[in-house]
Amino acid sequence: MSHPRVTGVGVTPFGEHSERTGRDLFAEAGLAALDDSGVDPDDVEALFYGNFMGELAEHQGHQAPLMAEAVGLDVPATRYEAACASSGAAVREAVRHLRSGEADVILVGGSERMTNIGTAGATDALSIAADDLYEIRAGMTFPGAYALMARAYFREFGGSREDLAAIAVKNHDHALPNEYAQLRKEITVEDALGAPMVADPLGLYDACPITDGASAVVLTSAEYAAEHDLDASVAITGTGQGGDNLALHDRENLARSPAAEKAADEAYADAGVGPDEVDIAEVHDCFTIAEVLAIESLGLYEPGDGIAAARDGKTHATGETPVNLSGGLKAKGHPVGATGVAQIVSLTKVLRGESPWSDDVGGASVGVAHNAGGTVASATVHVLEVQP
């Protein structure tokens, strides 16, 4: 079985773009990916597009054909929705289509416009990824939900706010040279601990920002890439997806992420690699505790060991397994529908040697992307590898 190749990547700056429309943002990312790929746009056979809150933020459903039009494509276009894992799900479906031979060239991307509806509006829109009947109506927000998960983790495994602060500091450091990141601002552990409390034990610097932005990748079959002499050194060799109960009160254990564990097991088996072979990772750190749960779900750390990884320098750019060299959702930003594909963009740039951090991780050849929806009721994991 040949593996689909990442032949082009594109991303907008992440941040506040309330004056721009979603179609404008996606056009920028999609056209950049097509230009980077060297693929003739006439060869693109489909658009797979991730978006979560378009109906609420822009009063616009049925976005996929609109986005195809925005990049000048007349192709079948499908929107994928899995909350914050929307474009991760789109990537997975594209990989499966390319492997089956149903297509040779697919544009995959996502976008989200959030700042135009304000903090209260965005918080309300995001909340619909939780159980409306039993969580939202009771006043649950995602900061509150992840605070419960953090408390459960501390109770089972130990840990402290200082450990979480170290994750925020690390991801802000990683974002500094990323020209597309939203929060290019150095912070200290003291800054994080002194910031306003959002939902105990999570403070302001434990949470990702509200973000506008778009991302896109051109995926092709290996055969197409070879036939057209494309720069296709990075392949997606493994894909996995897992699910869990939507509401927290229906979970057996709030200190673990079974959906991500299932997705990781499937992706590793699909790629024929193990977690010990992973050189770099981009994980879904919507809150600092989420990075801990993610790296443990990926098997990079045993349960209970991930909490100290950033504090001990292990997940820094110069550590044993760098995590979120882009700055992660925490500092790069989190335009929900664009996040999963943005992780693929970031990993591809590092593996190609085009990232500001590439020299620090010289020789990296295996990367893993972890994209989660809600409180990880949905999760996708993808393995990327440099090909000879």
What domains sit in the chain, N to C, each tagged with a CATH number? 5-118+209-386 (3.40.47.10)
CA distance 93 to 33: 18
Confidence bin at 364 (pLDDT 50/70/90): very high
Q: How crowded is residue 19: how many other Cβ atoms within 10 Å of its Cβ? A: 9
Active-site residue 84, yes or no? yes
Rounded to whole angstroms, the Cα distance separating 64 from 55 reads 13
Token code pair at residue 32: 């950049």
Residue 342: pLDDT above 80? yes
- What was the pLDDT predicted at 1? 65
pLDDT band at 16 (very low <50, low <70, confident <90, very high): very high
Instruction: Verify whether residue 208 is a known catalytic residue.
Output: no
Structure tokens at 51: 């978006």
Sorted by sequence, the CB contacts under 8 Å of residue 59 that are 6+ apart come out as none
Residue 381 pLDDT: 98
Catalytic residue among 17, 84, 208, 316: 84
On whether the CB atoms of residues 344 and 91 are closer than 8 A, the answer is: yes
pLDDT reading at 320 higher than 90 = yes
Q: Please provide the average confidence, as pLDDT, over all residues in the chain.
A: 97
Average pLDDT over residues 104-120: 97
pLDDT band at residue 93 under the 50/70/90 scheme? very high
Phi/psi for 30 (5° steps) reads -65, -45
pLDDT of residue 363: 87
Q: Average pLDDT, stretch 330-348?
A: 98
Closest by alpha carbon to 270, among 50, 7, 4?
4
For 283-306, write each residue's pLDDT tens digit: 999 999 999 999 999 999 999 999
Q: What angle do CA 212, 129, 165 make, to 5 degrees?
A: 65
Question: By percentage, how much of the chain surpasses pLDDT 90?
Answer: 98
The backbone region for 333, taken as left when phi is positive above 0, alpha when psi lies in -120 to 50, beta otherwise, is left
pLDDT at residue 63 above 70? yes
Residues for the chain: how many in total?
388
Identify the active-site residue in 17, 284, 316, 334. 334
Q: Which of 339, 335, 344, 338 is nearest to 17 (CA)?
A: 335
Q: What is the pLDDT of residue 15?
A: 98
Other Cβ atoms closer than 10 A to 231:
14
Residue ranges of E strands in the chain: 5-11, 46-50, 77-80, 105-112, 197-199, 202-203, 213-220, 234-243, 280-282, 366-373, 378-386
Q: Enter the tokens of residue 175.
A: 């974002």
